[in-house]
Amino acid sequence: MTKAPMRRPAKGPRVAIAQIEPILGDVGANLEKHRDAVARAVDEQVDLLVFPELSLTGYRLKDTVPDVAVRSGGEVFEELAAMSEQTSLVVGLVAETDAHKFYNSAAYFEAGKLLAVHHKAYLPTYGMFDEQRYFAHGDKIRAFDTEHGRTGMLICEDMLHPSAVMIATLDGAAVVIAPSASPVKGVLSDEGSDAPAADGDDADPTDSQLDGDSPVDANGRSWEAYNRVTARSFGIFVVYANRVGVEDGQTFWGGSEIIAPDGSTLAKAAYYEPDFISATLPHDALRSRRIQAPVMRDENVDLTINELCRIRDRSEPARPSFGRDDRGGDDRRGRDFGRGGDDRRGRDFGRGGDDRRGRDFGRGGDDRRGRDFGRGGDDRGGRDFGRGRDDRSDHRFSSNDRGGPPRDDRRDERRDERRDDTPQRDAPTRGRPDRRAQKPRPVGRGPRRRDDTDGS
């Protein structure tokens, strides 16, 4: 009987997520939840414990933000730092600065001290979200060294901006931690998530939820797909820590997860219920993915910086062109819409240069097809579009015709003849009424008789 090959345990830090249900505005009660989760993490020999976004305060704070804010060096910070002597912590909280600005923040505690703080840079203000009204924007995205490897932190909406993930990864992050407070949006589905489960004997038992045992809404599906694409594209571990519960009528779907650099699921939490998950982040997985797809190795940082500076410094915002360059650049389809350069398809839309197809749209030069659209010169096709000269095609586009349809010149001639036959009457004498104008002569009658007059 052949023995199965022995597998050595994966080498790497063990990371856990405490998927909790914070109590809105009650820092003391939420701090107790953190103590319980830390005690469990210590029992399970976890190296790093991650909590959701605003885990210490709840999410729908609105104008109570200043009431629940904490400052570095305060009692809450000191207690969280003390907890980190047993295991590293990432906690979501409202941070207040000396300038009395309030940030939606994630704090990383390790070895009894505050190691790093990330202030949320992208504050959603659409739909149910109104963060810009109560929080200040963060202005930094930095990776930092920890006992468990170089790490970056992005809070919920930050994660949805690929540029933010790229900055953290280019700064050396092998792990991106994403505390989140993602609500339910869309219709619930009984099919579960489209996210793939981990393969092999190392698959976490909670991955069975991905096969349809638990429903997840459209927003949850989107996050699960995005986390896997992000992990694979940048070759990083993604630690996505979402919350559960109901606040102000809004439900949070949970489903926290730990994703490997190849997009496989290392651990998956329950939907809509508090949970505690953990997984080891194997160093070999990171190495294998970056050998297989060295995208970040080949990233041209100078190219990215130069182009971003060009976009930032231009005077007008960019407009979607759908494949055309509105600023006069060369268009791959062969059109030049900008400054009148040569067009590969033979059109010149700019300054009236010669057109390979025989049109001159500019300054009225000779047109190879026989049209002059410019200054009213003679048109080989018999049309004069300029100053009202004779039209060989019997169309008249003169100044008398203000945008209406073309008139027949022969009809105009007959009308002019009738006008010439009509006797011209003298202008009425000033101060006396023109009786002839008051009673005009009927059209089509014979010579006027005396009794047709008014006695004058």
Q: Choose between 398 and 254: higher pLDDT.
A: 254
Q: What is the pLDDT confidence band of residue 175, given thresholds at 50, 70 and 90? A: very high
Range of weakest confidence among 40-44, 69-73, 154-158, 223-227 = 69-73
Would you state the pLDDT for residue 207?
43
Range of weakest confidence among 32-46, 81-95, 140-154, 389-403 = 389-403
Would you state the pLDDT for residue 73?
87
pLDDT tens digits for range 192-213: 444 433 333 343 434 444 444 4
Would you state the pLDDT for residue 262?
96
pLDDT tens digits for range 99-135: 999 999 999 999 999 999 999 999 999 888 999 999 9
Give mean pLDDT, residues 168-174: 97
Q: Choose between 248 and 6: higher pLDDT.
A: 248
Above 90 in pLDDT, residue 242?
yes
Would you state the pLDDT for residue 191?
47
155: closest CA among 242, 76, 38, 49? Answer: 242
- C-alpha 267, offset from chain centre: 30
Would you state the pLDDT for residue 2?
58
53: closest CA among 135, 172, 148, 168? Answer: 135
pLDDT tens digits for range 311-360: 999 877 667 665 555 454 444 444 444 444 444 444 444 444 444 444 44
Sign of CA dihedral 380, 381, 384, 386: negative
Would you state the pLDDT for residue 78?
95
The Cα 240–Cα 311 span in angstroms is 32
Angle at 178 between CA 32 and CA 133, to 5 degrees: 80
* Percent above pLDDT 90 for the chain: 56
CATH topology of domain 14-308: Nitrilase/N-carbamoyl-D-aminoacid amidohydrolase (3.60.110)
Element (H, E) at 312: helix 301-313
Above 60 in pLDDT, residue 190?
no
Q: 3-state DSSP: the chain helix, strand, coil percent, rounded to 5?
A: 25, 20, 55
The Cα 409–Cα 336 span in angstroms is 40
Give mean pLDDT, residues 429-438: 55
Range of weakest confidence among 23-32, 256-265, 378-387 = 378-387
Would you state the pLDDT for residue 23?
97
- Residue pair 154/178 in contact by the 8 Å Cβ criterion: yes
Mean pLDDT of the chain: 77
Range of weakest confidence among 49-53, 103-107, 304-308, 352-356 = 352-356
Would you state the pLDDT for residue 185?
83
Give mean pLDDT, residues 269-290: 96
pLDDT tens digits for range 349-401: 444 444 444 444 444 444 444 444 444 444 444 444 444 444 444 444 444 44
